[in-house]
Amino acid sequence: MRILHTSDWHLGRSLYGRKRYDEFSAFLDWLAETIDQEQTDALLVAGDIFDTSAPSNQAQALYYQFLCRVAASTCRHVVVIGGNHDSPTFLNAPKELLRTLDVHVIGAATDHLNDEVILLRDSQNNPEALVCAVPYLRDRDIRMVEAGESIEDKERKLVAGIRNHYAKVVELAEQQRRSLAIDIPIIAMGHLFTAGGKTTDGDGVRELYVGSLAHVSAGIFPDGIDYLALGHLHVAQKVYGSEFKRYSGSPIPMGFGEARQEKSICKINFTQRVATVTLIKVPLFQHLERIHGNWQKISARILELTALKSQAWLEIIYDDSELVGNLRKNLDHAIANSPMEILRIKNNRIIDRILNRSHAAETLDELNPDDVFDRCLDSHEVPSEQRVELRKAYKTIANEL
C-alpha cells in the first residue's frame, strides 16, 4: 500500500498583506500530479487545511477542486483531520457528501470514538489498513474542569486526556483488526505539539495549550501504531528520532523564517505491516528571502538577485550602528529594474534608538501578543509576584479565542 502524508496547507494565508493563492494552487496541482505519478492509494492530511476558521471563497474552491480531482485519480482514499486553525463545523459540514468520494473528514473529536477509526479497503474490497483519524483535541474535548485546580493540574489533565484518547482509539482499531483476522497496519493521525519539536521564527505555529507539560512526549502514543502522521509543526521532522512517527511539515514556507527550509511530503510504502518512509521534495513556487545586515550587505545581495532575474519576495532587516536616511527610498531604487517585491522593512537602528527612550514608537508589527501583554503589565505597574499566574491566564484566554 502506498500512502502520502502532508499537513499544514494553511490555504488562504497571506504574507504581510500579499495574497498567496497562486502558490497554493501550484502546490495542489503538483500534489495531484504526484499522487498519479506515485500511484498513491491513500492521502493523509494532518490538519490546518485552512489558515482561519472562516476561509475565503477562493481558499474553499482550491480545497474542493483538489478533492474532486483526487477522487478521479488512482488514489482510493483521502483522510482529513481538523487542526487548531480549522473550524470543526466548517470541515464537517460536507463530510457525508465527501464520503461518497471516499474522502473521510474528522473535524473534531467525535462522540463515538469508533467514528475516528476508518477502515480502508483495496480495489478488490479487501481490508488494507486502519486509520485512527484523531483531530486536534481541544481542551473541552479531553479535560473536565474542576473548581480550585491549579495551572499544573490543568496541564497534567490535558496530557492525560490526550494519552487516554489515543489509547482508546488505537484499542478500538486493534479490536477491529482482530475481528477481521487480517494483519493490516494501524496508522494514527494527530495535530499536536510534541516535546522537543522544532519550530522557526515567524512560522505562526501557536502554543496549543498553556505550559510546557502540554508538549506531549512520544510515550503517549500506543505501541500498536505502525505509522504516526502528525501535523502542526512546519518543519519536517521525526518524533524522537523515530522513522515511523513524523511531522510532514508545511508544503510552502509560511514566513520568511522558513525561507531556507526544504519542504517535503512523506511517502510511506507498506508491505503488510512493515513501513518504508521516504521524503518527496516539494518544488519552490515562490522564492522568499530575508536579507539581514548593513547597507553594503543588503545592497550587494539585491544586486546579486537582480542579476539572477529573481522574482523573490524580500524581507529587509537593516542592522547597523550607522543610521541610513531614506532607507525605503534607497531600497525601492535598488529593486526598481527587477520583478522583486519588498514585503517588509525592519530598521533595527531606528527601533533601538527610539525604544531606548520610550515604547511609544513601537508598532504591533514589531511585537508578538505576549510582548503586548507584558507592556500592559508594565503600564499598570503589576507586581512581579503576580505576573506568572497572570501570563498563564492570559495565554489560556488567547488560545481559546
Distances (CA, A) of 193 to 148, 152, 198, 218, 347: 27, 18, 10, 10, 33
Q: Where are the domains of the chain?
A: 2-281, 288-366, 368-401
DSSP 131: E
Q: Which residue is associated with the grid cell 522544532?
A: 198
Average the pLDDT over each of 55-59, 137-141, 188-192 and give the range with the smallest value.
137-141
Q: pLDDT digit string (tens) for 336-394?
A: 989 999 999 988 766 555 555 445 555 555 677 788 888 888 877 888 888 888 888 88
Whether the per-residue pLDDT at 203 is higher than 80: the answer is: no
Domain 2-281 shares a fold with domain 288-366: no
Q: For strands 288-293 and 274-281, give the pairing.
A: unpaired
DSSP 308: T
Q: Is 37 helix (H, G, I), strand (E, B) or coil?
A: helix
Burial of 127 (0-12, 13-18, 19+ CB in 10 A): middle
Average the pLDDT over each of 17-21, 116-120, 197-201, 261-265 and give the range with the smallest value.
197-201
**Rounded Cα distance, 230 and 250, in Å:** 11
Q: pLDDT digit string (tens) for 217-259?
A: 878 899 999 999 999 999 999 998 899 999 999 999 999 989 8
Phi-psi group of 101: left, alpha or beta (phi > 0 → left; psi -120 to 50 → alpha; rest → beta)? alpha
Secondary structure E strands in 19-174:
42-46, 77-81, 103-106, 117-121, 127-133
Average pLDDT, the chain: 88
Give me the count of residues in the chain. Answer: 401
**Rounded Cα distance, 348 and 262, in Å:** 28
Tell me the CATH number for domain 2-281.
3.60.21.10
Q: Which residue is associated with the grid cell 505562526?
A: 204
- The H-assigned helical ranges of 249-368 are 295-307, 327-334, 348-355
Does the domain at 288-366 match CATH 3.40.190.10? Answer given as no
